A and B are shown apart, each in its own frame.
Chain A
Amino acid sequence: MNNQSSQNQITLTNISHLLQQQGYITDQSVAMSVFLSFQLNKPLLIEGPAGVGKTEIAKVMARVLETDLIRLQCYEGLDASHALYEWNYHRQLLHLKMLEQEKQSVEEKEKTIFSDTFLMKRPLLQAITYHQQPVLLIDEVDRSDEEFESFLLEVLSEWQITIPEIGTITATHIPQVILTSNRTRELSEALRRRCLYLYIDYPDFEKELNIVRQKVPGIDARLSQQICGFMAQLRLLKLEKTPGIAETLDWARALSILHIDHLDKDMVEQTLGVVLKDWHDTRQVQMSLSQLLEKTGIHSKLDNL
Chain B
Amino acid sequence: MILRQTSLSGNIVQFCRFLRQKGFALSAEEEATALKSLSFIDYQSQPIFQQALKAVLCRSKSQLDEFDALFLEYWQEINQAVDAKVKSKAAPGAKPVTNPPSFQALKSWLNGNNHQEIEQTAAYSIHQNLSRQDFSRIPADDIVEMMKIIKALSRRLAAQASRRYEKTAKIKQPDLRRTLRKNIRLGGELMEIAFRQPKCNRLKLVVLCDISKSMELYTAFLLQFIYSFGQVFRRLETFAFSTSLHSITSLLSHHDFANALQALSVQNFDLQGGTKIGESLHTFVTDYAARLLDKRTMVLILSDGWDTGDIPLLDQSMKVLQEKAKKVIWLNPLAGYAGYRPEVAGMQTVLPYINVLAPVHNVASLRKLAKWL
Q: Is A130 an interface residue, CB under 8 A from the partner?
A: no
Of A86, A184, A185, A197, the contact of B171 (CB 8 Å cutoff): A86
Interface residues of A in 129-188 (CB under 8 A from B): 145-146, 183-185
CA distance A185 to B170 in the complex (A): 23
| Assembled-state Cα–Cα distance A284/B251 (Å) | 16
B residues near A238, Cβ cutoff 8 Å: 251, 263, 266-267
The interface residues of chain A lying within 8 Å CB-to-CB of B63 are 197
Contact residues in B for A12 (Cβ distance below 8 Å): 40-42, 48
Chain A residues within an 8 Å CB radius of B266: 238
Question: Are A29 and B267 in contact, with the CB atoms below 8 A?
Answer: no
Contact of B247 among A77, A145, A185, A240 (CB under 8 A): A240
Q: How many residues of B contact A (CB 8 A)?
A: 40
If A238-B263, A240-B250 touch, whether A29 touches B51 (CB-CB below 8 Å) is yes
Chain A: CB-nearest residue to B260: A238
For the complex, what is the distance from the CA of A240 to the CA of B267, rounded to whole Å? 12
Interface residues of B in 91-150 (CB under 8 A from A): none
C-alpha gap A284/B54 in the complex (Å):
39
Q: Tell me the A63-98 residues at the B interface (CB within 8 Å).
A: 76-77, 79, 81-82, 86, 89-90, 93, 97
**Interface hits, A217-261 → B, CB 8 Å:** 238, 240-241
A196: chain B residues within 8 A (beta carbon):
55-56
Name the residue on B nearest A76 (C-beta). B234
The docked-state distance in angstroms from the alpha carbon of A89 to that of B182 is 15
Q: Judging by beta carbons under 8 Å apart, are A280 and B247 in contact?
A: yes
Show 21 residue pairs from A and B whose CB-CB distance is below 8 angstroms, ordered by the A residue: A12-B40, A12-B42, A29-B51, A35-B41, A36-B41, A36-B52, A40-B33, A40-B37, A40-B56, A77-B170, A79-B170, A81-B171, A97-B189, A183-B61, A189-B25, A196-B55, A197-B63, A238-B251, A238-B267, A240-B247, A240-B250
Q: Decide yes or no: A199 and B37 within 8 Å by CB, A36-B52, A238-B267, A280-B247 being known contacts.
A: no
- Asked if A290 is at the interface (CB within 8 A of a chain B CB), the reply is no
Instruction: Report A168 CB to chain B, min CB distance, Å.
Output: 20
**Is A40 a contact partner of B36 (Cβ separation < 8 A)?**
yes
Q: Which 4 A-B pairs have the closest CB atoms?
A: A39-B40, A192-B59, A33-B55, A32-B51
> Given contacts A40-B33, A47-B61, A146-B231, are A198 and B40 in contact (CB under 8 A)?
no
Chain B residues closer than 8 Å to A240, beta-carbon distance = 247, 250
Interface string of B201-245 (1 = CB under 8 A from A): 000000000000000000000000000001100100000000000
Instruction: Tell me if A39 and B250 are in contact (CB < 8 A).
Output: no
Q: Report the minimal beta-carbon distance from A158 to chain B, rounded to whole angstroms.
A: 15
Q: How far apart sit A28 and B46, CA to CA, in the bound complex (Å)?
A: 13
Apart from the given pairs A89-B193, A238-B263, 19 other A-B contacts in the complex at a CB distance below 8 Å? A32-B54, A32-B55, A36-B41, A36-B56, A40-B56, A42-B33, A47-B61, A76-B234, A89-B192, A97-B189, A145-B231, A184-B253, A185-B230, A192-B60, A193-B30, A199-B61, A238-B251, A238-B266, A240-B247
Q: Is the interface of A mostly helix, strand, loop or mixed?
A: helix
In the complex, residue of chain A having the shortest beta-carbon distance to the beta carbon of B64: A199
The reply to whether the CB of B72 lies closer than 8 angstroms to some CB of chain A is no
Partner of A189, one of B29, B37, B59: B59
Size of the chain A interface, CB-CB below 8 angstroms: 38
**1/0 per position for B6-30, CB-CB distance to A under 8 A?**
0000000000000000000101011
Chain B residues with Cβ below 8 Å from A42 are 33
B191 at the interface (CB under 8 A from A): yes
Residue of A nearest to B267 (CB): A238
Contacts of A280 in B (CB 8 A): 247
B36: nearest chain-A partner, CB-CB: A40
Query: Which of A82, A86, A196, A241 gathers the greatest number of chain B CB atoms within 10 Å?
Result: A196
A39 to B52, CA, bound (A): 12
A93 proximity list for chain B (CB < 8 A): 190-191
Residue with the greatest number of chain B CB neighbours at <10 A, chosen from A12, A76, A81, A90: A12
Contact residues in A for B27 (Cβ distance below 8 Å): 193
Contact residues of A between 1 and 37, Cβ < 8 Å to B = 12, 28-29, 32-33, 35-36
